[in-house]
Amino acid sequence: MSVSTVSTQGLVPDLAATIAVVRLHQRNCRIVRDALDVGSASKVFGVSVRLSKRGAIEALALATPTTVFLVSLNEVGTQQSSHKGASASSKHAKLRDVLEDPRCLLAGADIARTVLLLHRNTGAHVRGVELLALPAESSGKPPSPADLASTYLSPRTGRRRIHALWLRGSNDDMCRKAWILACIAEKAADKIANLVKAATGTVPAQHLICLSRLVVNVERLDADKPTSVENEFDMIETSADGAVLRNARYKTRVRASARTVVEINGGEAKGQAVFTKGKSTGLALFKGKLPIKVHKVRIIGREDATNAERSRDGYVLSVLQGLSFLNTSAFVQMLWFELSETVAIPALPSLLAEKDDHKQTSKIPQAFRKLNPSQCKVAMAMISCGRPLVVAHGPPGTGKTSTIAAALEHWQSSRQAAWVVAHSNVGVQNIAESLFKRKIDFKLIVSKEFHFEWHEHLYEEIEHSVIRTDEFGKGFDAKNYIGYTKVILCTLSMLSNPALHNFGIFKHVPVERLIVDEASQIDTFEFMHLFDMCSATLGKVCMFGDPKQLPPFGAEVAPKMKTIFDFEHLKNKAHFLDTQYRMPVPLGDFISLAVYDSKLKSEHTIKDSSCVLFVDVRKGQEERVGSSWKNAEEVNTIVNIAKKYYKNKHFCVITPYDAQRAAITVALKAAGVARFEHVYNVDSFQGETSNISLKFLTPPRRS
């Protein structure tokens, strides 16, 4: 054990400039226990943890307003609620005594994750309170620790410094975080007394194991998120309030956020993004003036959590508070606890029309007549009441969208409600185009942020079916906007937007059937809170995807992440769409042999091998650009090929590297090639098609 001090200067000016830190090992927690014995009331500790790359807790900070106890934990792998052996159990005994003391209450930001991780690593049953549930001045957005500090400690709080703390994981920064939370808890003691506490002791052990595994993945993904991003911009100019930046690319756009700092020319000027409108972002400069020539804009920090992330974390918290339960939804039980469909069906909402269809399973609906046998089999399963969960593996070009459209056409004929979601806006828009061609009535809900000025061109043909989120507001009537439409399209993330509930969308078109495209790119944890939210109405879930293509983003960081195709007990029930129509036969046959165990058949008019050509750019060398890569010789080769053969033709370029994508875009534009905007990395091309594609066959580093 050792005692030192840590500076807190610049964080909260009205509080101490240094704090005492007691550094100790988990086997020697007696001094923390002594702190519990001071006074007769419960002791509230501010809490912060740091995880190893394997997801185990390395260090734990427990703080009072005057002292921080920094506890070192030996990594014990993925220790869960039941300990393996006396040595592992004794290792945590002293710390467990502290955490399980009825006088010990932990106060944190994202407390649900913290108590689950502590339980997973030590076996202790922990109680905690979520400080982010406290009322705070936060400009209408969910509060941050900086907002709480400004509200309860001092209006002169160094907000940007506190935001920066939550991006770092050093021992000193852990101590500062826990201390700030302890100070907030002390000042808000009366309000904390009325908050519902999170506790692991009231949750079944099996449910704790499940949630803690999922939370470890989320923590690892969050830790891997970049803390700085290069912005691609067209121009930036001075305005009355600071500056206005014109973003060039949606993916790297500067979004309004109090948690980020916009750095110009490496720090020559700094500002905060205060508004966004289409491609324009307004900046309030707090350091320096806008340089005459701006050559670099960087976003420092991490943006606010999305609606989906907040809803997911809120659900986990409500389970630990005893307000929600993992056994409420039969679909949660089927996925994570292997509940059989036979047992699940009686627990699902009654879909009477599907029961009628089940009696006629031998009769193929008119909408299915143009489907091939494997597509028809999937579509029949989709309308059958005997299969509440349908999983379909569909390689590229096998007609996943056609199969979905056929089922929707059948449901539409009997006025049955269905929601269709995909991981990406482009995926949703592709489905919408297919439904439009088939004259299927639908509404598509899209955010103003994605639509306005960025992607309006994608929706021109279906504009009459689009509802933009900025239309939600005073006077919005779901019945007037949606009418008699029973098919709603949106991204998976949009389903978590509280506006859908607040403005009556779910009431007007209940989520009775949920069809998911791009399911192989989605961590199934993203569905858990949605299954619970819709448990009163949801009776059918159909998931389409291809696990042989891109995994969910971040799978290399959180390898235990699961898509619907990774659940062993579901694999033998998954359907396979076995005929592709997109690729020329030679290419399709090669893909079938190399990827799909020769199970994929090809039907295409092009059967000659000249459909595939290879160009050896042997002189090219890869060079690192930030966290990505580019190859100048390959860029020149692509430009020369495009100028000579495809200058006025439709084509696209696909590359594994984002820096290479940017370099090719600039080079094609400079060379006067009209389709310079049709350059993609592998992620952004998902869901797109092209008759002519120029691809880089280099080992992808996914950046």
CB 245 within 8 A of CB 291: no
**Is residue 550 domain-shared with residue 537, that is, in the same domain?**
yes
Residue 85: the pLDDT is: 41
Q: What's the number of domains the chain is made of?
A: 4
Residue 355: the pLDDT is: 52
Q: Is the pLDDT of residue 699 over 60?
A: no
Which one-letter amino acid corresponds to residue 498?
P
| Residue 386 located in a structural domain | yes
CATH, residue 521 = 3.40.50.300
Residue 261, strand partner residues = 300
**Is residue 456 domain-shared with residue 395, that is, in the same domain?**
yes
Q: How far apart are the two ends of the chain, measured CA to CA in Å? A: 43
Mean pLDDT of the region 72-86: 51
- Residue 644's CB is within 10 A of a number of other CB atoms, namely 8
Which one-letter amino acid corresponds to residue 664?
I
SS3 at position 495: helix
| Residue 595 located in a structural domain | no
Task: Please tell me which residue, 83 or 539, carries the higher pLDDT value.
Answer: 539
Mean pLDDT of the region 6-16: 93
User: Cα separation of 304 and 318, whole Å?
Assistant: 21
| Residue 182 located in a structural domain | yes
pLDDT tens, position by position, 244-257? 999 999 989 999 99
CATH, residue 277 = 2.40.30
Q: Where are the beta strands (DSSP E) in 151-260?
A: 198-199, 228-230, 233-239, 242-247
| Residue 101 located in a structural domain | yes
**Is residue 133 domain-shared with residue 255, that is, in the same domain?**
no
Mean pLDDT of the region 591-596: 96
Q: Is the dihedral of CA 514, 515, 518, 524 positive or negative?
A: positive
Chain Cα centroid distance, residue 596: 28
Q: Is the pLDDT of residue 359 over 60?
A: no
Residue 685: the pLDDT is: 75
| Residue 307 located in a structural domain | no
Specify burial of residue 292 (Cβ count, 10 A radius: 0-12, 13-18, 19+).
exposed
**Is residue 59 domain-shared with residue 138, that is, in the same domain?**
yes
Among 200, 223, 246, give the residue marking a domain's end: 223
Mean pLDDT of the region 409-438: 94
**Is residue 131 domain-shared with residue 244, that is, in the same domain?**
no
* DSSP notation for 346-382: GGSPP-HHHHHHHTTTTSPPGGGTTS-HHHHHHHHHH
Residue 347: the pLDDT is: 87
Mean pLDDT of the region 415-436: 94
| Residue 143 located in a structural domain | yes
pTM value is 0.90
Mean pLDDT of the region 362-371: 88
Residue 128, strand partner residues = 106, 198
Q: Tell me whether strands 418-422 and 513-517 are parallel, antiparallel or unpaired.
A: parallel
Q: What is the mean pLDDT of the chain?
A: 90
Q: Is the pLDDT of residue 619 over 90?
A: no
**Is residue 285 domain-shared with residue 368, that is, in the same domain?**
no
**Is residue 428 domain-shared with residue 376, that is, in the same domain?**
yes
**Is residue 572 domain-shared with residue 630, that is, in the same domain?**
no
**What percent of the chain is modeled with pLDDT above 90?**
72
**Is residue 45 domain-shared with residue 181, that is, in the same domain?**
yes
State both tokens at 83. 């300990």
User: Cα separation of 460 and 441, whole Å?
Assistant: 16
CA distances to 8, 429, 431, 456 from 460, rounded to whole Å, are 54, 11, 15, 7
Between 252-261, 324-333, 687-696, the lowest mean confidence (pLDDT) is in 687-696
Among 223, 243, 264, give the residue marking a domain's end: 223
- Residue 605's CB is within 10 A of a number of other CB atoms, namely 7
Among 549, 577, 605, give the residue marking a domain's end: 577
Q: How confident is the model at residue 326 (pLDDT cuts 50, 70, 90)?
A: very high
CB 658 within 8 A of CB 682: no
**Is residue 273 domain-shared with residue 406, that is, in the same domain?**
no
Mean pLDDT of the region 201-221: 95
| Residue 317 located in a structural domain | no
**Is residue 573 domain-shared with residue 654, that is, in the same domain?**
no
Mean pLDDT of the region 333-348: 93
Q: Which structural domain, as residue segments, surrounds residue 276?
A: 228-300
Q: Which helix (H) or strand (E) holds 315?
A: helix 307-320
What residue has token string 């076996």?
Answer: 123
Q: Is the pLDDT of residue 288 over 90?
A: yes
| Residue 84 located in a structural domain | yes
**Is residue 244 domain-shared with residue 388, that is, in the same domain?**
no
User: Cα separation of 383 and 408, whole Å?
Assistant: 9
Which one-letter amino acid corresponds to residue 389?
L
Q: How confident is the model at residue 695 (pLDDT cuts 50, 70, 90)?
A: low
